[in-house]
Structure 1
Amino acid sequence: MVVRVKLKGLKITRNKARRYYVYVRGTRRALISNFDGDREALTERLGEIDVMTVYNATRKHELNRVYADGTLGALVNWFKADCPNYAKLSDATRNDYDKAFYWLESGFDCPLDLITTPELYDLRDRCIKEKWPRFADKMISALSSMLTQAVKRRKMPTNPCLGMDKAHKADPNSNREWFGPEWDFVRNNAPTEVLIPCMIARYAGLAGQTIVGLNDKQFLDHPLTGKAVQYTRRKNGKATLLPVLPELQVFLGARDIRRADGLIAIRDDGSPWETEKDMQTRVSHWLRDRERDGKIGAGTTLHGLRVSYASWWKRNGASDEEVARLIGDKSVAMGSHYTRHVEDEVSIARAFNRLGKDGA
């Protein structure tokens, strides 16, 4: 009898004779050795009862392992169970970290004093081959976050992740400012469950992790615009009281569905999003479908509307420091980062203005 299930944590390799070996990550015990057959036949073999029995017993043992002090496994267990910084992570970031640590399980017995920058580059290069560049960067980022906290608590002398370059080269057009016609189309055509987070990002500059938990009780009377939203960013703990632009006030006031608990970002059926990632995924899928329809361009994201909000303020005279405060960030550099393309526009316009004064 063959049982079709998805087995997690497997490492599958082939020898020179093209025969398969299957291991549970973090162990030296093979579930299958020297298997002669194609991938479909291997999948069927993995579902047979004798293999499943060994797999379940091995995984249970590994998941309950207690790693020796001074090893990577012990440090990961400490970070996830006892470090307050892990608990403060957003759901999406914690999920990324957990996936990275899961991939690292095969090296959990490694002593911490053997973790050096050159070794990490070797590890990252292997991760690129087994996964992909962006995952490898997230793996290093998860390690760096953990090791930074370990250094502060004298569990590590230094953080060897610091200064490592990125394997994934970001697309400069990702999370870009939206063009006017793109926003007009989405504003007039998006379903309500997509439009709510888009409106809040565009006219208040809030990040997804703040939007998903936003409540009517956070909107207070304010002398400047009539209303202000009070929130604390989970990412940096910064408390902000932000006057709300009229466009957002009108939109939120005209909502068809209102929950008794006051939750604002909800699905079309009135139910809440389970996580920030669920909300982000729904918005992203709708936008990519409209991109394929030719209605909007590539690079239109929910985060890009946050950039659009910051850029609007920059064009209306806000300084980098003011932009940073408007988007709930502590760093002035982030105000500059979000609006660097606006500075380019200003420089180009200045050059053309000189040309107009001096003649061709």
Structure 2
Amino acid sequence: MPPQLRLPVALGMFTGLRKGDVLALTKAAIRDGKIWRRTGKTGQEVSIPVHPDLAHLLARAPSHDAITLSATSNGTPWTESGFNSSFNKAMAKLKHEGKIGDGLTFHGLRHTVGTLLVEAGCDLDTVRRWLGQKTLAMAIHYSETADTSDRMNQVIKKFDPLGSKART
């Protein structure tokens, strides 16, 4: 992955923000160990803690004078079309090298974050708030492929359809 793409892709992977929101994040968006953003699509304000691995990537990101966190190799803020072109070329190269499969998109990172949050035990309202969604239905949409088998194992320990377990 080219150095100028690492940070915006990492921001997508660790936050689940949409591409436009990631590219618009300013350096001032990081305060008190969190990324603050009013999402462009829904207008919801999100406050996402900076994961330690993301903090490491932020610290090692190429230096530039742009107001945005992410910048092109020339140190200017990304345009969406410029980012799309660079991202698509990088994905095609990685696919050709056998490092990724078909269908990897920037927006897919949003689905991955929703899935990982559910698999980590987060409830749908937390997923909704993290992703800046207005409705639980969208949180369900972004996390529908989550593997919840471990949670179901915990449920069966509590499930008592015959009422034979001691009640409190």
Q: Give the alignment's TM-score, normalised by structure 2.
A: 0.82
**1:208: how far off?**
0.6
Does residue 80 of structure 2 align to residue 276 of structure 1?
yes
Mapped to 2, the partners of 1:264 and 1:217 lie a distance apart of 9
Spell out the pairing of 1:1-360 with structure 2 (5 A cutoff): 190-221=1-32, 227-259=33-65, 261-273=66-78, 275-342=79-146, 345-347=147-149, 350=152
Runs of 4+ in 1 over 4 A off after TM superposition: 347-351
Could you tell me which runs of 5 or more consecutive residues in structure 1 were left unpaired when the two chains were aligned.
1-189, 222-226, 355-360
* Other structure's SS at 2:145 match: helix
**1:278: how far off?**
2.2
Instruction: Please say if residues 114 and 131 of structure 2, whose CA atoms lie closer than 8 Å, have aligned partners that are also in contact.
Output: yes
Instruction: Please say if residues 280 and 302 of structure 1, whose CA atoms lie closer than 8 Å, have aligned partners that are also in contact.
Output: no
Mapped to 2, the partners of 1:272 and 1:349 lie a distance apart of 42
- Ranked by relative contact order (alpha carbons within 8 Å, sequence separation 6 or more), the top structure is 2
Change (3 A) 1:350 1:217: closer
* Other structure's SS at 1:240 match: strand
* Other structure's SS at 1:341 match: coil
Mapped to 1, the partners of 2:92 and 2:139 lie a distance apart of 28
Mapped to 1, the partners of 2:28 and 2:75 lie a distance apart of 18
* Other structure's SS at 2:46 match: strand
Mapped to 2, the partners of 1:281 and 1:328 lie a distance apart of 26
**1:326: how far off?**
0.6
Aligned residues: 154
Mapped to 1, the partners of 2:73 and 2:127 lie a distance apart of 32
Change (3 A) 1:263 1:337: same
**1:347: how far off?**
5.0
Cα RMSD (Å): 2.0
* Other structure's SS at 1:236 match: coil
Mapped to 1, the partners of 2:126 and 2:24 lie a distance apart of 25
Change (3 A) 1:350 1:263: closer
Percent of matched pairs sharing the same residue: 25
Q: Give the alignment's TM-score, normalised by structure 1.
A: 0.40
Task: From the CA coordinates, give the structure whose radius of gyration is larger.
Answer: 1
Could you tell me which runs of 5 or more consecutive residues in structure 2 were left unpaired when the two chains were aligned.
157-168
